Amino acid sequence: MEMTRERYDVVIIGSGGAGLRAALAAAELGARPVLLTKGEPQRSGGTLSAHYSFCAVLPTAKPGDSPDVFAGDILRSGEGIPDPRLVRVLAERAGEAVAFAERLGVSFDLEEDGSKPHLGWLAGHTHARAVHVGNAVGREMVRVLMKAVKQARIPMHAFTHATDLVVDDGVVRGVAAFHQPSGEFRMYEAPAVIVATGGGSQIYELNTNPFEATGDGYGLALRAGIELTDMEFVQHYPSVMVSPPGARGLMFNSGILVPKGARLLNRHGEDFWDRYGAGPLKEATRDVMSRVMSQEIAAGNGTDAGGLYISTRGMDPEDFPQMQQKLLEDVGVDRDAVDREVAPGAHYFMGGLRIEPDASTSLPGVFAAGECSGGIHGANRLAGNALSENQVFGAIAGRSAAAYALSHPLSPSRTEGKALEEAFEPVRRILGRSALGEERMKPSDGWGELQSLMQREVGATRTGDGLERALKRLSALREELPERLGLREPSLVYNRDAGKALELRNMIDTGWSVAAAALERRESRGAHVRLDAPETSEEWACSLAIRLSAGSALIRKLSRGKGERT
């Protein structure tokens, strides 16, 4: 297996909204960045699936709205868990991010008179503050960012899997990677690395995410000794299609339709919402909807497909997002259907690499932005804040990483070779075996087992016993992987199994961190629901920081929002 070396100032892992914005910001300060993406540029990543909105307080904000009010909404939704410093940065700078997008060429939808951007209202927000581009704001953001990156001549290496951060004596020295088209290993040397890999919802069988969302950043961070935070909080989108089979995993936009009158019904046709005392359905945030729906399904009132019905009887079809309607028709959903089978599906990770307001992590030289970072949203993310986060903190990470790299050039190291070999050794073992033999595990089999385990034991509702079973199996899978996993074809050139094997390694570490944090948090709060600990406790009004040490979880409490040890 050949290895090549390349040197840059900043290596950015991920080509979604956060990574692209970070690259532009780093280049603006005079640094030499490179973007690594395991998929095809402009056709992969979570930003593309952001449908409706990008929330910010604009100069044309509704009367009474302000960054203070916006920050208050985020803190309230996060139920005491968000870091107020990060929330303040997001609320104050989101408007600048919208203005930057407009300068790049995004044309947000306007009011009927064309005087200013139209602002949509989303559940959990005190005021309407969501700018949008039809129902495809994420795709438009990626288009203009990609165009700007190309104009800036920032190199982008596609189909390149980051396998590990190379850390030598507590100093990051770059990124070890596998280039799928050539089958070669690569070392991208740099004094600064930005992790912008998106989330990890593919660890669940029912999810809304693209196939690339395999928790790569969480795995990279854990193996490098970097702290994660809030990993127990996985947002489940409440209305994910479960039937017909061709539509399974697609979102049915409850965020738009419920405020306009859509209702939830169980298998018996009963409107069950009010039985749970969760307040008006029209005002329910995603975590509340998912919790109530999961409890109704667990009570035996779900459909044969494991869902509930979202009913749009009596509603005007013109109120439905038209792009969504066309997509559902294409996969076999009757356009005139008024009851659609849905269930909560994994949608967004509130947790991730613990960052400071400058996007730095617990390992000097490593920065993070976007969904893979943690500390901003707490126990639940407000709708429309994902793009705001990845653009605000993508810019911050790019500037911070560039400044760090230009003031901390790499110096010669006698032990870098050993660190590099330690990074590549487990990957060589995983990719060097065939899938022949009864004891071998194909990557697809590993994916299936992991997704089933997480869906069953670490899903929208959890119990201590289930979490312990999950942790035991995930720990075993981590140990088994280098010895059991095998590829169906010996050549690594364009070998899809190789990519799936590397992703499975990260998925196992991601699932392990979610289960470990969920077991530690002995209460229910936001998106974390423990059926054996249903109450919210003041004792747990804090974040949990977790890191991997010798195969075990080291977990500590962080004081509310300050990132300090309690």
Which residues does the annotation mark as catalytic? 286
End-to-end CA, the chain: 47
How far CA 32 is from CA of 22, 179, 191, 398, in Å, comes to 12, 21, 11, 11
Which residues are CB-contacts of 60 (< 8 A; sequence separation ≥ 6)?
Answer: 116, 117, 119
Please choose, from the candidates 198, 159, 134, 205, the residue with its C-alpha nearest in 3D space to the C-alpha of residue 37. Answer: 159
For residues 391 and 97, the answer to whether their CB atoms sit within 8 Å is yes
Locate 337 and state its tokens.
Answer: 């259907």
Which string of DSSP letters, residue by residue, matches 328-376? HHHTT--TT-SEEEEEEEEEEES-EEE--TTSB-SSTTEEE-GGGEESS
- The two counts, helices (H) then strands (E), for the chain are 13, 20
What does DSSP say about strands 192-195 and 10-13: parallel, antiparallel, or unpaired?
A: parallel
Q: Residue 33 has which token pair?
A: 């960045």
Asked whether 10 and 405 are in contact (CB, 8 A), the reply is yes
Task: Give start and end residues of each alpha helix (H) in 361-495.
Answer: 385-407, 416-431, 443-457, 464-484
Cβ burial of 274 (10 Å; 0-12, 13-18, 19+) is exposed
480: alpha, beta or left? (left if phi > 0; alpha if psi -120 to 50): alpha
Q: Say if CB 544 and CB 517 are below 8 A apart.
A: yes
In angstroms, the CA 61 to CA 130 distance is: 10
The encoded tokens of residue 47 equal 């930003």
Cross-sheet strand order for the sheet of 366-368: 156-157, 33-36, 10-13, 192-195, 366-368
558-563, long-range: CB within 8 Å, 24+ apart, which pairs? 558/229, 560/80, 560/81, 561/82, 561/83, 561/84, 561/85, 562/83, 562/85, 563/83, 563/85, 563/354, 563/356, 563/375
Question: What gap in Å lies between CA 421 and CA 425, rounded to an integer?
Answer: 6
What contacts 24+ positions apart, CB below 8 Å, involve 167-171? 167/224, 167/225, 167/363, 167/419, 168/413, 168/415, 168/416, 168/418, 168/419, 169/413, 169/415, 170/363, 170/364, 171/364, 171/365, 171/413
What does the block give as tokens for 422?
């330690």
CA distance 337 to 267: 16
